Amino acid sequence: MPDIPNTPDRPTTLRHLVAGEWVDGEGAEAYSTDPAHPDRAVAVYRTAGKTLLDQAVTAAQAAQPDWSAQGLIQRGLVLRRAAALLADRAEEIALLMTREEGKTLPESRAEVGASVETLYYHASRARAADGATFPSAHPEEIIRTLRRPLGTVAAITPWNFPLQIPAWKIAPALLWGNAVIWKPASDTVAVAAAFARVLADAGVPAGVLNLLLAPGSVGAALVAREEIAGVTFTGSVTVGRSIQAAAVPRGAKVQMELGGHNAAIVLPDADPAAAAADLVAGAMGSTGQKCTGTRRIIAVAEAYDALVPELKSRIEALVVGDGLADGVGIGPLVSNKARQEVESAVEQALSEGAQVLARADAGPASGPASGPASGSASDGSCYYPPTLLAGHPGLTICHEEVFGPVTTLVRAADLDEAIRIANGTRFGLTAAVFTCDERAVRRCVEELDAGLVKANAPTTGSELHAPFGGLRDSSFPAPREQNGDSGAEFFTWSKTAYLRTGTPARSRS
C-alpha cells in the first residue's frame, strides 16, 4: 500500500455506493491529493475490484425496471430535489473541488452553479413532449413514437470538470429511466462521492446509481460487460477508442468526447485588445485543462504584430498560486505528472524552433520563471507558468494536445491559409474566429472542421441547452451531450406504435 501523504487535517475516508449502501472496496488503498500542496491527502479509500463491479451490475439490473416504471415526471422530481440539495451544499463542494482538482475557488463555484442548472434543466425536461404523433392513411389509426430506456449504462468521467461533466451525463441518463454505474477519474474521487451522495439523498433509489472508485482496469472491465447497454465517456482518444472496440460490436450505444486541438483565427479587422482578452481566457482558464482550450492562435497578416503586445501583457499579469488564495487567477495543474507532461511538450517545441513570447511567474512552489520552464519537474510541484509560444504549424505541439496553460501563436498570410492551418490536426472539437467581417464568419462556420464554432468569443464555454460535441478524433458519431433532445436520443431507444381502434365482438344470443 502507498504511504498517505502528511496532512494537517485528517483525510476523508471514502466508500463506494453499491446497491444503495456505502461500502469499502476490496482492492489496494489509494488516495487523492491537493495539487497546491501535493504532500497533503484529501481523501483515502480502498479501490473497487471485480467483486464490487459484479455487485454493482447486479444491483443496477435489478433496480432499473422499477425506476423506469416510476415515470418521467417522478424521475424529474428526484432531479429537482438533487438540484436543490447541490445548491445547499455548493460552497462545501466548491471548496472540496479546489482542494482536490486545483482550480481556483471562483472557477469551482461557477462549476457547481452550472451543475445545479444542469440538474434543473433536465428535471424540467420531464414535462416536455416525450414523443411525436403522425398522420395515418387509415382514418381510425394514430401513429406515435415513444421512448424506452437503454437499461444499465456506464458513465466514465474525467477529473478536469469533476462535477459538471458527470451532471451532463448522469442527469439525462437517470431522467430517461436508466440505471447508472459511474466510474470517475481517480484524481477527483472526493468530489464524485459528494455528488453521488447528493443524488442518493435526493431519492435516487438503491441500485439505480452505483459509484465505483477504481483504476482504469475496472473501467475497462465495466464497459466490456454484456449488461452495459450504453457508455458515455469523456477522456483521451486512446481510451475512447478502446471503449469503442469493446462496446460497439455488441450493439451498445457509445457517446464520447475525446479532446481537441482548438484553433482561434484572428483577422486584421478585429480589435486586438478585445481578441486578446478572450484568447487568454480560452487558453489559460482552468489552468488550460479544458478539452475546449485554445491551443493555437492563428493571426492573419498584420493581426500578428498587433496581437503580440496585447497577449504578452495579459499573460505576464496572470497570478499563479493556490486556488484558495485571494487574487489567484491560475491554479496548479492536477498533478506533478500532468506538469511534467506539459513541461516536456514545451521543451520539445523549443527544440523544434519555437520561441517563448510571454510567460507568467510560475507560482509559489517554483519561484520565478527561467529557462524552458520554471522549477524542477521532479520537485513535486504542480505549478506551471502560463506560456505563449511563437511557432509554425509543423511543431509537434501544434498537433498533439497539451493539457495545460500553453498556447502557440502562428502567422497566416490570409484566411484561406488560416483555415488550412486550423484544420491541420486530427481533432475537431471547437474553433473560433475574431473579425467584424460577416462573410469571413460564414466561411469559418462552414469550413472549419469543428463541432462547435464561435465568432468573437473564446473557444471555451457552451450552453447546456445546446448540443455539444466534436468531429474527427474529438468524438464518435452519436447524439451530442448537454442538449435535452440529444440526451433523450442517446439514453433511449425510440419505438413507433400504430394504434387502431378495435372492432368489438358481436354479442351472441
Catalytic residues: 291
Specify whether the CB–CB gap between 382 and 289 falls below 8 A.
Answer: no
| String of DSSP letters for 246-288 | HHGGGT-EEEEE----EEEEE-TTS-HHHHHHHHHHHHHGGGG
The neighbour count for residue 136, using CB atoms within 10 Å, is 13
- If DSSP codes are grouped into helix, strand and coil, which group holds residue 39? strand
Pick from 220, 213, 218, 219: nearest CA to 192: 213
Can you give the length of the chain in residues?
509
- Given the C-alpha cell 413532449, which residue does it identify? 129
| String of DSSP letters for 148-165 | EE-SEEEEE--SSSTTHH
424: Cα separation from own chain's centroid = 24
Cα separation, 273 vs 165, whole angstroms? 32
Helix (H) or strand (E) holding 18: strand 16-18
Q: Angle at CA 493, nearest 5°, toward 489 and 499? A: 115
Instruction: Describe the crossing of helices 164-175 and 484-491 by its angle, rounded to 10 degrees.
Output: 60
Helix (H) or strand (E) holding 29: strand 29-34
Tell me the torsion sign for CA atoms 475, 185, 97, 191: positive
Cα separation, 228 vs 348, whole angstroms? 41
- The contacts found for 6-13 with CB under 8 angstroms, 24 or more apart, are 6/39, 6/40, 7/39, 7/40, 7/41, 8/40, 9/40, 11/41, 11/42, 11/43, 11/44, 12/42, 12/43, 12/44, 12/190, 13/43, 13/44, 13/45
Pick from 64, 108, 72: nearest CA to 487: 72
- Given the C-alpha cell 459484479, which residue does it identify? 54
Q: Which three cell numbers stand for residue 14?
A: 471514502
Cα separation, 293 vs 402, whole angstroms? 10
19: Cα separation from own chain's centroid = 26
Q: Angle at CA 11, nearest 5°, toward 9 and 12? A: 125
Tell me the torsion sign for CA atoms 131, 132, 137, 142: positive
Cα separation, 150 vs 212, whole angstroms? 20
